[in-house]
Structure 1
Amino acid sequence: MTQTLVGVFDSFQQAQNAKIRLEAEGIAPADITVHARDAASGTLGTTETGVGTTAVGGTPGTVPAHEQEGVVGRIEHFFKRLFGDDDQPEEAGHYREAVRRGGALLSVDVDDESSVEKVRETLYAAGAVDINSRVAAWRTAGYTGYDRNAPAYTDEQIAAERKAFPVVEESLEVGKREVNTGGVRVYSRVTATPVSETVDLREEHATIERRAADRPATAADLKEGSVEIRETSEQAVVGKTARVVEEVVVGKESSHRTETVNDTVRGTEVQVERVEGTPTDTRIDEAGKKPV
């Protein structure tokens, strides 16, 4: 079943750009139609690729006077094809009103159900507006419904209505960066420390003792002989042995902490205030109807 998706754009050029994006997505040009108002004459028109319809909405004066009735008929035919001849929903008038106020419509005929979402995303990405939000804004200015006898907006009226008040909102972005907070440097050097130890040393010495005697000598006493006695002494012997008694391990460890960042973000708010008109502001057209 063929579905028709309609996107509302603020200008003919935006609708044309959306058409180019849809064609790049694989949508056939014959399935895409742009509806816009001619800037010079104030009439409604249609651009269709490959159908031979006169293009309007771009360069002023592209629609000759003898073709104006046919141009209006083509866009009315589009809405009849979309919604039927009778009892068209109120939304149909909103779409017409968008074109009357200088906007443009882009319709896409989609046969493949899987392509519907892709087309919808492409339309929004190209700048399609939310028609419900737009109508709500119109109502605050007195809009009650589409009036086909109401004159098309002039360039001045379009510019005044499209005047934008930006709504700005700051966001707080908190990141992280690594900073050098110091460190530890470890040195290893040789030191000399005086020490003292006590040791007992033994010495052996020869002793000579003479003692008086008075006895008869014997043959043994008359023999020659000698005795040698060695004297010894101990001396301190110094030796050193190195032993590892402690190790200093150098490394680093990480820890985490949570920090709350407090700051102030700025933003703007746009308030819409209804301003009542005065009797001198009211204009009556030839048909006796009050234009929107």
Structure 2
Amino acid sequence: MSQTIIGVFNTLQDAELAQTRLETEGVARTNMNVHANDMSASTSVSGDATDRPAGEHHEGAMARIEHFFKNLFGDHDQPEEIGHYHEAVRRGGALLTVDVIDESSIERVRDALYAAGAIDIDTRVEQWRSTGYSGYDRNAPAYTADEIAAERQAFPVVKESVEVGKREVQTGGVRVYSRVTETPVSESVNLREEHANIERRPVDRPATVADLKEGFVEIRETAEQPVVAKTARVVEEVVVGKEETNRTETIHDTVRGTEVEVERTAGNRDVADGAVPPAKKTPL
């Protein structure tokens, strides 16, 4: 579903610069329109420069802008702020309308408009109200160049806002190494040995036939030797991971702003009515 975003700018030149900037950011020029009341502007919906009287040109420009909003909102029940947009054009401003088809791009286009210099229409309306503005009057004439310049000298109302974000920083970490270690160990083992034992003992007896036979006896000597066998077993595991915790931190700061006070001063009624005040007498 297509949506139209409207940016309000102080001048036609500001709106055209914003249009060029949005085009470099990927917004098609065919999806953008500049609406202004400037006789020298060829891109304005009020038409090309002509030799028509100022009043006729203003009527044509505002009529075209009214036609645009009628196509956008219909003939009836238009929001109140539509009149504020008309008033901005009447006071020398310009509108840049952007048709956005992709809803995911709405915030990006809105931010781009503000970055290009779009003004806050609600803040501007509050400034107008402080000087007597009560609503758009389609019969009111367009501002002259002198009136526009005088209004541009108004004191701005500034409000600072605090935007608290967050960024990730490295506060430390854990590095785990795995290496092979060697530890000397001592174990005792009993070893058995077998040795041949030769013993000669004197004997005095008559010899028999058996004693005269040849023969031999073989005795083997044995000895035990240590045999080392090593078996590796896993006795512990070190699990490496991380856990996440959240904390809330309150940021204390101050924001600056300006307030504009309007003070009406009393005038001289006689002078205002055209009467000449009496001359002041000074005693000789």
TM-score where L is the length of structure 2: 0.57
Residue 203 of structure 2 corresponds to residue 209 of structure 1: yes
Partner residue, 2:261:
275
Partner residue, 1:25:
28
Mapping of 1:101-180 within 5 angstroms? 101-106=91-96, 117=101, 121=106, 124=110, 125-127=112-114, 128=118, 131-132=121-122, 134-136=124-126, 138-139=128-129, 142-146=132-136, 148=140, 153-155=147-149, 157-158=151-152, 160-162=154-156, 164-174=158-168, 179-180=173-174
CA distance in 1, matches of 2:232, 2:83: 92
CA distance in 1, matches of 2:44, 2:131: 36
Change (3 A) 1:280 1:270: farther
Per-residue deviation, 1:247: 3.4
Residue 43 of structure 2 corresponds to residue 53 of structure 1: no
CA distance in 2, matches of 1:5, 1:279: 41
Change (3 A) 1:164 1:156: farther
Per-residue deviation, 1:169: 1.8
1:193-225 Cα distance to aligned partner (Å, 9 max, x none): 4745253646352332347xxxxxxxx98x9x8
1:23-64 Cα distance to aligned partner (Å, 9 max, x none): 9615288xx443045xxxxxx77543799612xxxxxxxx98
* Partner SS state of residue 35, structure 2: strand
1:1-31 Cα distance to aligned partner (Å, 9 max, x none): xx998642233233213544479615288xx
CA contact (8 A) 1:8 1:104 kept: yes
Per-residue deviation, 1:67: 5.1
* Partner SS state of residue 36, structure 2: strand
Partner residue, 2:61:
75
TM-align CA RMSD: 5.3
CA distance in 1, matches of 2:131, 2:177: 68
1:275 partner amino acid: E
The structure 1 residue matched to 2:190, chosen from 164, 180, 197, is: 197
* Partner SS state of residue 152, structure 2: helix
CA distance in 1, matches of 2:13, 2:252: 34
1:205 partner amino acid: E
1:95-129 Cα distance to aligned partner (Å, 9 max, x none): 23213544212468xxxxxx664699486343455
Partner residue, 1:216:
none
* Partner SS state of residue 168, structure 1: coil
CA contact (8 A) 2:92 2:143 kept: no
The alignment covers a number of residue pairs equal to 247
Q: Name the % identity.
A: 22
Change (3 A) 1:228 1:141: farther
CA distance in 1, matches of 2:228, 2:12: 93
CA distance in 1, matches of 2:212, 2:45: 148
Partner residue, 1:41:
none
